[in-house]
Amino acid sequence: MATLGIVEEIYWYPVKSMLGESVRTAEFTGAGIAGDRVWAVRDEARGDFMTGKRVAALMGCTGRPAAEEGGVPEIELPTGDVFAADDPLASKRLSVFLGREVTLWPCDGAPAPSPPQGTPEETEAEWQVRMACPRCVMTTHGFADVPRDPTVMRRLVSEAGGDPGVYASVERGGRVSVGDAVVAID
């Protein structure tokens, strides 16, 4: 077994295309990181789910872990307004911010109200790499305190051929922590 690298960061995104947060440990299931992308924003005029690729303002919002164990993720708008994803007024508040009618929808992701924290267990996750992961224009959008920067995409193409990561499926679920070794299994 060859060591390919070390896990430097893990990000958890409870609402698709919103900012997430860095976590020290994550539980991987057959559906991915537990609690990741378990909510999405639907554009009612278009009849489909929104992405940060099409609506960059969505990336100004942040999905956070549930305030209480067993709860749903919270959403923080750039204005500082914070509310639960299932709050009866959540869709209205997000619609006002985005300037269009949207609704929040729970998705069939890897159910978990909040990312696991603490000491990693002995169970380690295993993945099967499926294909290279191309990046899109979302990497160039400004968000939080990071300005819009179209040179990001050019650099991803020049240094990684536009594919800075991989898509992989979880072969065996388990816990992964920052600092863990990434090894190739023959």
As a whole number of angstroms, the distance between CA 118 and CA 102 comes to: 36
- Output b/e per residue, 29-43; b: 16+ Cβ within 10 A: bebbbbbbbbbbbeb
| pTM, two decimal places | 0.73
Both tokens assigned to 169:
């499926």
As for how many domains the chain has, the answer is: 1
Q: Which of 186, 179, 147 is nearest to 10 (CA)?
A: 179
Is the pLDDT assigned to residue 145 strictly greater than 80?
Answer: no
The tens digit of pLDDT for each residue in 70-122 reads 778 999 999 999 999 999 999 999 999 999 999 999 986 544 434 444 444 45
Q: Which of 25, 31, 28 is nearest to 125 (CA)?
A: 28
The parent domain of residue 170 ranges over 2-184
Question: Which residue has tokens 């179209």?
Answer: 150
Higher pLDDT among residues 164 and 183, named by residue: 183
Higher pLDDT among residues 34 and 135, named by residue: 34
